Chain A
Amino acid sequence: MTVVLGQTFTGISIGAVLLLIALGLSLTFGQMNVINMAHGEFIMAGAYTTYVLQKSIASAGISLLVALPVAFLVSGALGALLEWLLIRRLYLRPLDTLLVTWGVSLMLQQLARDIFGAPNVQTRAPDVLTGNITLIGGDDPLTVANSRLFILGLAVAAVVALSLTLRLTPLGRRIRAVVQNRDLAEVSGISTSTVDRTAFFIGSGLAGVAGVALTLVGPIGPTMGTNVIIDAFLVIVVGGIGQLKGTVIVAFVLGVLQSVLEYSTTVSVAKVLVLVGIVAFLQWRPQGLYTLRTRSLV
């Protein structure tokens, strides 16, 4: 029984990581239909931000807490800059956007190599997060890592914050208005270019937050973005483009699937099976779990 629970929890924590890396993309790709291949490097920027802050702030706990908002701002600013320099000239040209942002992604990786060196670096996790917590005691105990719980909490908080912003604030209403009908938004006096940039800032900022979380579960390196970006796009596409609900469900389902299959087979076989499952699912429902109701890309 605890084996099942343990694997499920491992799956949920994989899902939480997937959710965090995909969340920003659900805004920039899902809502705005921009294929930003440099999104992974914004995650990397968040991770390196954590690394830099830890060098100047002695306490690992405080530096991690400070890193969350700072990484949001750093990656958000990078995203807004990219939008202003390149992406805004390429709206409605998805293939060009893909190539251009891929180029930007390579440049950012090289920049990271030049600044921080090619080898991976590590951050220290704060003491509170290094231990384990026992959820079920007894002969057959179920323990989970504190850092995994922290990431789960962070993912949930980020989803709640994003969905409340989109649903309740005038800013969110405007983002939804621009997504639904760009011309009408413009003639209603909304500066759609400002809304685009703001949405891009938020989406990229969330990548930064994901980067902070990733420092707790793995090393920080120039290629860490490339390793996660495909998974992030998969989660969005399977969940249904533009559907936050779908992104959340699919992140956790894929996480649990991966972990359960890993237990009964091996890591790589599990990965293959999950990918085959995704391909089969998309044959059956090409539009993803939830259907698309935005302005293009159908």
Chain B
Amino acid sequence: MSGLEIRRLRVSFDGFTAVDGVDLDVRPGDLRFLIGPNGAGKTTLVDAVTGLVRAEGSVRFGGEELLGRSVHRIARSGIGRTFQTATVFEELTVLQNLDIAAGAGRSLWTMLRRRKDVPEPVARALETVGLTELADSPAGTLAHGQKQWLEIGMLLVQDVRLLLLDEPVAGMSHDERQATGELLQRISAERTVVVIEHDMDFMRSFARSVSVLHAGKVLSEGTVAEVQADPKVQEVYLGHAAAETTADVAVQEA
């Protein structure tokens, strides 16, 4: 298994610096949560790692430098991601979605031949994310939560070693969150997982380690307990809620 090593990462758009000198280490097999207020640069960080935006600095995975490579090369070197809004190929079936992800490196010649059977890794991924029954439905007809599982399934068939998940439980019910959390724990037994999340309960239940981003910088890092105890975090992030609560109390008292 390989770990992720980010050094002095900077991303700016027309003078606005979204990610400002981030250093981040994710151990192999970690289940790391990235949290932080809106605009902290969490998604931009993931965009930079996957090559969708240009960045300066260094991003190494398993010792290989990723910055400067094209998006599909980064994807083929074992790094997969999901998007904030569940993003699948809506007009293709669940199976076809997985098939596209599975066959990324295939040659032109084999692509002109039609295959009938379901390849074994695809069948296994369907099973893992619980969509076997829905294999032939168009992905556009899936429920929101199911689409997010399909996204994770697409990463599994690519056999990625690093999963970068952007709000994987947004809009899910309590039971779906629980199932997703357990799925992520299973996956992180063999792979490295980084999750961007706003849901604090979900983070507390499943994170192995947490990094807090604020205004493009890493504010704090550690276990859930360590991060929650950090006064800087309480001030900019959790503290924001605390201040509101105090204000509420004050209003009620008045």
A interface residues, Cβ below 8 angstroms from B:
165, 168-171, 173-174, 176-177, 180-181, 183-192, 198, 293
Contact = CB atoms under 8 A, between A and B. Distances in A.
Interface in B156-179: 158
B92 A173 contact: yes
Given A185-B100, A188-B75, 10 more contacts: A170-B106, A170-B110, A176-B89, A180-B89, A180-B92, A186-B52, A186-B72, A189-B75, A191-B72, A293-B91
A192 B110 CA distance: 17
A177 B90 contact: no
Given A181-B87, A184-B89, A192 B99 contact: no
A173 B100 contact: yes
Contact of B158 (A173, A177, A188, A198): A188
Interface of B: 50-52, 70-72, 75-76, 80-81, 83, 87-92, 96, 99-101, 103-106, 108, 110-115, 154, 158
Given A173-B92, A176-B89, A181-B87, A187 B52 contact: yes
B91 A180 contact: yes
Given A169-B114, A170-B103, A187 B80 contact: yes
B50 A187 contact: yes
Nearest to A191: B72
B161 to A, nearest CB: 13
Contacts of B83: 183-184
Given A177-B89, A183-B52, A188 B101 contact: yes
Q: Is the interface of B mostly helix, strand, loop or mixed?
A: loop
A169 B72 contact: no
B81 A190 contact: no
A188 B90 CA distance: 15
5 contacts: A169-B111, A171-B108, A183-B71, A186-B72, A188-B75
Contacts of B70: 191
A192 B87 CA distance: 17
A186 to B, nearest CB: 4
A245 B227 CA distance: 57
A176 B101 contact: no
Contacts of B51: 186
Contact of B75 (A170, A176, A187, A198): A187
Nearest to B157: A188
A169 B103 CA distance: 12
Contacts of A190: 72, 100, 104
A124 to B, nearest CB: 34
Contacts of A170: 99-100, 103, 106, 110-115
Nearest to B100: A177
A168 B158 contact: no
Nearest to B96: A173
Nearest to A170: B111
